[in-house]
Structure 1
Amino acid sequence: MSLPPCEVSWFSALCDDDYEFLGVPDTRLQSSWEHCRDIVLQADSLGFDNVLLPSGYALGIDTTAFAAAIATWVKRIRLLMAVRIGESWPPQLARQIATIDQMLGGRLAVNIISSDLPGEVLESAPRYARTVEAMSILRTLLNGEALDHEGEFWKLKLKPPRIGTVSGRAPQFYFGGLSDPARDAAAKGADVYLMWPDTLPGMRAIIADLRERAEREGRSLRFGYRVHVVVRETEEAARAAADRLISRLDGDTGAKIRANSLDSGSAGVRRQAELREASGGEYIEDNLWTGIGRARSGCGAAIVGDPDQVLAKLEAYRAEGIEAFILSGYPHAAEADLFARHVLPRLDHRPLG
């Protein structure tokens, strides 16, 4: 069966998520303009299609400011800029998105995060309802259309801003979340549904459910997969590298890291914990290692193996309908180089069109 090319993205650690040893802070790897800039420029030079710029209120540096700055440095790579809806006024966010897209020559995509306003907590259902409204407002304005919106959270009647995207259309919205309200929000407003690691049967069930929800909305979705990688020339060396990564991590430190995350109680985080517990922190299926989740609240598994095994795992995901991968490893710069050397040239990849 012929599969469409997949998008292969890397990850820049804007939220202080870079380590040589998980759970052991390293000042050289903390989020800063210089460190995160270097990761993006390396991903650009290595041939990755896109790079995720994550966002967190309490950690690291501001994503929108960073995206605007790095847009003037990169040559060919796309940027996947995360935006926290709870912190944004949609008309202003639309202008920021359009401006950065112009700076990039049209190479911007947006990762929509259904966040709270810092200092406030909104229940899941209304928070995702607000996110659906925001996506609708953003899409209308970024499509260059006049807005007449009467919603629960915003009542706006506006002409579109003068500045628009290079294409004249809204960039692709990437969006993730495992709860029912999150899945409904994706079906109503997203372009690419992002999922965290799961077993192949679990992934099939999620994709089937999201396709059905989108069809009920008269829409379709594409699917992305966020996962860590540990690739070495042999499986033995890859497993040794994975073990080394958590070799200085104690249980209390890992639990504190997981508990401190803003999304530590979400359905997606619970699913990552279920996979880790079911595997005993080892391999939940061939080459999918959950030990990395001992010190992470979110994406909690890694593909571990030699180049053939890592490639086979990615191709298996592609066969299930995954068209976009967001990969990362520790330290991010070193693992990007290893993946680009051993696996990336063997994948049929290009940016999502």
Structure 2
Amino acid sequence: MTIVPITSPDLDAAEVSWFAALCADDYRYLGVPDGALRSSWAHCSEIVKTSEELGFRNILCPSSYQVGQDTLSFVAGCAPITSKINLLAAVRCGEMQPIMLARTIATLDHMLEGRLTVNIISSDFPGETADSGYRYKRSREVVQILRQAWTRDSIDFEGEVYRFKGVPTAPAKPYQQNGGPLLYFGGYSPDALELCAEQCDVYLMWPEAKEELAGRMKAVHERAARHGRTLDYGLRVHMIVRDTEAEAKDYARELVSKLDDEQGRAIRKRALDAGSLGVSHQARNRELADVEGYVEPHLWTGVGRARSGCGAALVGSADQVLSEIEAYMKMGIRAFIFSGYPHLDEARHFGTKVLPQLKTCSLPHAYGRVPDRVPATPLGTGERR
């Protein structure tokens, strides 16, 4: 029995994803810059191609104002070099006029032949600080406009931030049908929970003790139920998996062995989400952890010493990590976004030691969004007008 009712209760698989380090977030030693691991096209695209070869079903392409890759440009570049893996593009609402954003996403979805998923984010823009309530209001309106663009013949929207009347949607029709690309969303404030509950498909959480995760699932489900909806749930967590628990814990210690705490604080501060409620919860995890940094027997918070956002890793042998993932699945989690340092090396560790033992799926396919042939959209096989 899952913690709360979910959209996919009969799905006996999970969407297991990796992470493309587009935003200066790859290290051999945490917090120590390594030129060979910079967020270049060559390095980041190699992470994507390797993840596909290993069998990961999706890959998160994050967004931040760091030296690295622009998210949507990078996703477009991945279209011709991949054929199976989905791409989860982080979209910061408000950066682009929402109707043009709908068209951009539709273009990418056609380029990827239905392999696009979207991570809706609401953090501040570089050089600007906006009220949290306003940011989530803007994001909510953007998502509503995207939904209209993908499912209606015209956009008619009267909001507090955006207003449109009678805009035809033919240029914005995506490859995916029955609602368009799935929307993944993470956030902890009441406004964030309400936005996800009303508008999105998958609620993403950062790592915490299981009872804390259960509480978050209950909180967002309560809001979704008021709208007559259910959600699926996802977990974003780092990974350190080795043949034995001792080897994994040794590597965790080695990973932070050259970390200067002042440098770690500087790295955390430069992220656009550094002041968010979710980030404060990750900091709280570190306060609650034992002397080695573990808040649960296999959940290590050391990563958060030099990283904003997701700040903990599953650490253990292949069997131990597999057991943790299975426990999360029993709770109702159907999407996982893993990562590790360095990202290519850890993808291979997990991809060879644990991934073959998991039954995986693509959530867009499980939701019936991806047609088995080119759809009759204006950009597909539909009548050209």
Q: TM-score, normalised by structure 2?
A: 0.89
Matched residue, 1:296: 307
Matched residue, 1:162: 171
* 2:96 is aligned with 1:88: yes
Gap change, CA 1:163 and 1:156, over 3 Å in 2 = closer
Matched residue, 1:50: 58
Listed as ranges, the gaps of 5+ residues in structure 1 are: none
Contact 1:7 1:350 in 2 (8 A): yes
Contact 1:3 1:318 in 2 (8 A): no
Gap change, CA 1:3 and 1:107, over 3 Å in 2 = closer
Task: State which of 258, 277, 283 in structure 2 corresponds to 1:248.
Answer: 258
Which amino acid is 2:95 matched to?
E
Separation of aligned partners in 2, 1:103 and 1:290: 38
Correspondences of 1:208-219 after superposition (within 5 Å): 208-219=218-229
Separation of aligned partners in 2, 1:154 and 1:304: 45
Bigger mean CA offset, 329-338 vs 166-175: 166-175
Contact 1:138 1:170 in 2 (8 A): no
Which amino acid is 2:342 matched to?
P
- CA deviations 1:118-145 (Å, max 9, x no partner) are 3322101111011111001011102243
Separation of aligned partners in 1, 2:144 and 2:194: 14
Separation of aligned partners in 2, 1:330 and 1:119: 29
Listed as ranges, the gaps of 5+ residues in structure 2 are: 2-9, 367-385
Which amino acid is 1:57 matched to?
Y
Bigger mean CA offset, 91-100 vs 111-120: 111-120
* 2:334 is aligned with 1:326: no
* 2:316 is aligned with 1:305: yes
Matched residue, 1:99: 107
Separation of aligned partners in 1, 2:151 and 2:106: 10
Q: Cα distance, 1:78 vs. partner? A: 0.5
Matched residue, 1:145: 153
CA-atom RMSD in angstroms: 1.3
- CA deviations 1:284-326 (Å, max 9, x no partner) are 0120000111111110100000000000111111111100000
Gap change, CA 1:246 and 1:267, over 3 Å in 2 = same
Contact 1:292 1:302 in 2 (8 A): yes
Contact 2:123 2:135 in 1 (8 A): yes
* 2:86 is aligned with 1:78: yes
Gap change, CA 1:79 and 1:194, over 3 Å in 2 = same
* 2:173 is aligned with 1:188: no
- CA deviations 1:140-168 (Å, max 9, x no partner) are 10224311100000001211033522233
SS of the residue 2:171 aligns to: coil
Contact 1:114 1:128 in 2 (8 A): yes
* 2:298 is aligned with 1:287: yes
Contact 1:86 1:116 in 2 (8 A): no
Separation of aligned partners in 2, 1:271 and 1:85: 23
Matched residue, 2:355: 344
Separation of aligned partners in 2, 1:223 and 1:251: 33
Matched residue, 1:37: 45
How many residues end up aligned between the 2 structures?
A: 353
SS of the residue 2:81 aligns to: coil
Q: Cα distance, 1:189 vs. partner? A: 1.3
- CA deviations 1:18-65 (Å, max 9, x no partner) are 000001001111111111110000001110000111111234211101
Separation of aligned partners in 1, 2:66 and 2:258: 25
Separation of aligned partners in 2, 1:78 and 1:249: 34
Q: Cα distance, 1:74 vs. partner? A: 0.2
Separation of aligned partners in 1, 2:272 and 2:339: 20
Matched residue, 1:222: 232
- CA deviations 1:97-121 (Å, max 9, x no partner) are 1111111111110011113343322
Separation of aligned partners in 2, 1:161 and 1:121: 35
Separation of aligned partners in 1, 2:77 and 2:272: 26
